[in-house]
């Protein structure tokens, strides 16, 4: 993921979607050779010279001030996630080579966080990182994503399941939206941590194996995954609609808890209770099987 290429393609894609009319600029006759705004129009709206903006759009964010970044965000009508992505790209451009080369240690979930997940018995909950690896889960969370856990690779990964598993298309009520959001989350993470080798490897794998991923990745859309509603077509309990909230873990940078909850009194609440019963039965059977295997080993 070349940094200059990321900057250039992101800025070009953002200005391509904005018309002069929506920017309050006068429109004159004649054919426009580019979709959206021209470079000189973005420069005028941001209050910088055309040469300066051209340098920026070519991928050079080194030394660009916060005020200029804010002006560009305003001119390009960036939303919160897009603005954050632009600032992340600038932070990377201004980081020292030593900082760039530093790799973050593999994140681990502290025991107290796992205990909190386990105590959330009535709601599916799990901990994920920015690459969408699921690093910990409670029983109901694993039951909700039971289709994903069929894959033996650990940690399980939402993006890998969504784009590479034949079971994924029927799992989400709106698979296309889930795919778009997933790629947009990974794109935002790439802006925050462009030298994360595991993320680079994941993007490379998905780009190689999934045309749908390649197309969405090229759009340069970004998204924060904090709250919303998801619809699942679960193989055991059928259709289930759940609201979700994301909670960052300040003591564990890069990790977040996601918890799901149904509307009280809804059919989804009944489905979640059924799912909890199914999960508890499965857990009891697994524990009984493990106890039997241990007893057999002790007799040998």
- Which pLDDT tens digit goes with each residue over 59-97? 999 999 999 999 999 999 999 999 999 999 999 998 854
Model confidence at 293, in pLDDT bands (50, 70, 90)? low
Q: What is the mean pLDDT of residues 13-35?
A: 81
Rounded distance, CA 245 to CA 73, Å?
A: 27
Q: Which residue has the higher pLDDT, 98 or 284?
A: 284
Question: For residue 259, is pLDDT > 90?
Answer: yes
CA distances, 59 to each of 84, 92, 217, 257 (Å): 17, 12, 18, 34
101: pLDDT confidence band, cut at 50, 70 and 90?
very low
Please report which residue ranges of the chain form alpha helices under DSSP H: 3-16, 39-46, 50-57, 66-75, 80-94, 97-101, 111-119, 139-144, 158-164, 175-192, 197-209, 211-217, 267-299
Rounded to the nearest integer, the mean pLDDT of the chain is: 91
Question: Of all residues in the chain, what percent carry a pLDDT higher than 90?
Answer: 79
**Mean predicted confidence (pLDDT) in 219-231:** 95
Tell me the domain boundaries of the chain. Answer: 3-101, 111-290
CATH topology (fold) of 111-290: Beta-Lactamase (3.30.450)
* 208 vs 222: CA distance, rounded Å: 21
Q: Quick one: 3-101 is in which CATH superfamily?
A: lambda repressor-like DNA-binding domains (1.10.260.40)
- The percentage of the chain sitting over the pLDDT mark of 70, rounded to a whole number, equals 91
Reported as a pLDDT band with limits 50, 70 and 90, residue 269 is very high
Predicted model pTM: 0.90
Could you check whether 3-101 and 111-290 share the same CATH topology? Answer: no
Judged on CB neighbours under 10 Å (0-12, 13-18, 19+), 259 is buried
pLDDT of 159 strictly over 70: yes
**What was the pLDDT predicted at 285?**
78
């Amino acid at each position: 993921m070349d940094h200059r290429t990321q900057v250039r393609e992101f800025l070009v894609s953002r200005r391509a979607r904005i018309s002069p009319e929506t920017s309050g600029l006068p429109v004159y006759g004649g054919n426009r050779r580019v979709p959206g705004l021209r470079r000189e129009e973005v420069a005028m709206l941001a209050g910088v010279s055309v040469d300066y903006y051209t340098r920026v759009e070519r991928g050079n964010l080194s030394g660009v001030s916060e005020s200029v970044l804010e002006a560009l965000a305003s001119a390009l009508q960036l939303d919160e996630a897009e603005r954050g992505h632009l600032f992340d790209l600038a932070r990377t451009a201004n980081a020292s080579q030593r900082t760039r080369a530093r790799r973050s240690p593999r994140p681990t979930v502290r025991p107290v966080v796992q205990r909190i997940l386990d105590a959330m018995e009535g709601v599916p909950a799990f901990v994920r990182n920015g690459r969408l690896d699921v690093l910990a889960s409670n029983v109901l969370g694993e039951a909700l994503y039971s289709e994903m856990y069929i894959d033996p690779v650990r940690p399980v990964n939402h993006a890998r399941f969504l784009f590479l598993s034949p079971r994924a298309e029927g799992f989400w009520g709106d698979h296309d939206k889930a795919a778009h959001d997933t790629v947009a989350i990974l794109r935002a993470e790439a802006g925050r941590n462009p030298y994360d080798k595991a993320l680079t490897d994941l993007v490379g794998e998905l780009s190689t194996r999934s045309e749908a991923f390649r197309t969405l990745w090229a759009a340069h859309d970004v998204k924060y995954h904090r709250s919303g509603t998801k619809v699942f077509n679960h193989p055991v309990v059928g259709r289930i609609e759940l609201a979700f909230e994301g909670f960052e873990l300040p003591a564990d940078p890069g990790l977040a808890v996601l918890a799901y909850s149904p509307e009280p009194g809804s059919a989804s609440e009944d489905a979640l209770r059924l799912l909890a019963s199914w999960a508890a039965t499965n857990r009891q059977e697994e524990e009984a099987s493990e106890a039997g295997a241990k007893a057999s080993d002790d007799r040998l």
